Amino acid sequence: MKNKNKWILGTGAAITALAVLSGLAFGQNLISAEASGWTSQGAGKYSVVSEGVLVSEPTDEDYNHANAKRTEALTKGEKINEDASLNKSSDPLLPRQKLKNLDNKSAKALQNQNARVSYKPHSKDGAPEERFLYVQKLGTADGTVLVEDRTTATPHLIASPDNRAYLFEDNGLLYSIDSESLTVSQLTADEQQGVSLDELQSLVAESEDDVYLAWATQPFWSQDGAKVAYLSNRNSVGEEGGEIWLADPNTGEESQVYRSGDWLGLLGWTSAGDIVFWEGKKSNVRLLSLDGEATDLGLGEVYNAQLDPSGRWLVYSPTKAPAEFMAYAFDTGDSEPIASATSGLQFDPSVEFSKKGNKVLLVEYVDDSGDRLIHIFDLDTKQSGRIAPPSKVAITGVPQWVTDEQILVNGKEGGISNAWVVNTAEGGTSDEN
């Protein structure tokens, strides 16, 4: 009979061996490079900024070239321009950032606007220093999207659910930028309990203890974009643990909702509007209501956890070296296994969700040489598959979802950086058992 849940389209002995090692009860499809159709995007490195839209990033070769140029200039006694590292300009030694629209029908509709946005963060000496965000403003199927220029020191931008605003961190404070007007606003306050940030930094500098002033960090938008949760030590500078705060991006109102004397880390928001966070050295995952009540999810020690964009699922590894991954459903409170390393080694700790949040992408290290295999799991249908790269391609990093069926894979072929778009829905005929 045909087993519709297991495809083995091996291109060689190594692929076939991996298929035999598969041990998950729900079965795994091994889709070969030929079957999945690796479409080269040409030399370079890319990331996904919107459905069907890619942006280039500097490659290893680009950085090596830039460093060689700087070394050559130093050898000649020439002065090195450090404006790029200080976020005062883009790096002239790196190639200009490029956009690639995979949907040819809408290529003309993609509007690209480069902008240098000025803002003045609080500085240690109290004198505001003008800094800049280098962004590209795009009109896409997802609305207006801002993309930070990867060739500068521009802070990482965190999009709201509707892409109308973005968050970023700078010098221990949180800021927001409006997608349309490109107006930058400071989100978190400069002072706590009547003590200015400058005074706090002086106190920390004079302290004999090893104190790190993390003013505000790890921001997460709520599912409706109405609130931002973040970590701070605003009311406990110099003490163990930290606090979870809420900020209203429209009014600027802030409030502390949780305080712990232990280590904290944020994971995001559920679809029901609760905050998910880590607490304690044993990495227990807890649920926090907006009135400050925290409950343990009962998952034990958890590692490499991440929420899906819809806030329905928590995907995590119960082992420090992630050899397996589980999925916890917030609506039922149940956990299930979704991936297990077939090689006996481990996965990359990063988890990539599709836009709808129902599909998970993981990367397995299949041997000590660094060879990798891509795992796909559908949280709704429980179908799984594994994708093998072409024999001469070495995957670098963790692929990203381009659409709900396609992924972007960066890698190297013959030592040269390249990018491919891979169709995860394609496969072959089932095995006859």
pLDDT of residue 249: 93
Least-confidence region, from 87-91, 232-236, 408-412: 87-91
The yes-or-no verdict on residue 361 having pLDDT over 90 is yes
- The CA distance from 154 to 118, in Å, is 11
The yes-or-no verdict on residue 387 having pLDDT over 80 is yes
Q: What is the CATH number of domain 2-278+340-432?
A: 2.130.10
Q: Which of 77-81, 340-344, 373-377 has the highest mean pLDDT?
A: 373-377
110 within 8 A of 103, measured Cβ to Cβ: no
- Strand order of the sheet with strand 228-232? 217-221, 228-232, 242-247, 254-260
Of 111 and 62, the structure prediction assigns the larger pLDDT to: 62
Least-confidence region, from 12-21, 152-161, 341-350: 12-21
pLDDT of residue 104: 61
Within 8 A by CB and 6+ apart from 341, the residues are 323, 324, 347, 364, 365
The yes-or-no verdict on residue 347 having pLDDT over 90 is yes
pLDDT of residue 130: 83
**Across the chain, what does the average pLDDT equal?**
82
The yes-or-no verdict on residue 260 having pLDDT over 90 is yes
- The CA distance from 306 to 353, in Å, is 9
C-alpha distances out from residue 165 to 67, 122, 145, 215, 309, Å: 35, 21, 9, 21, 16
Of 206 and 51, the structure prediction assigns the larger pLDDT to: 51
Q: What is the tens place of the pLDDT at every residue in 149-198? A: 888 888 899 999 999 999 999 878 899 999 999 999 989 876 554 556 66
Q: Which of 392, 394, 384 is nearest to 427 (CA)?
A: 384
The yes-or-no verdict on residue 214 having pLDDT over 80 is no
The yes-or-no verdict on residue 117 having pLDDT over 60 is yes
pLDDT of residue 323: 92
- Token couple for 361: 């992408």
Q: How confident is the model at residue 307 (pLDDT cuts 50, 70, 90)?
A: very high
Least-confidence region, from 124-133, 339-348, 418-427: 124-133
- Give the three-state DSSP class for 117: strand
Q: Would you give the distance in Å from CA 126 to the centre of its chain?
A: 33
pLDDT of residue 199: 65
Helix residue spans in 172-217 (DSSP H): 197-206
Q: Which of 223, 225, 297, 221 is nearest to 266 (CA)?
A: 221
The yes-or-no verdict on residue 348 having pLDDT over 90 is yes
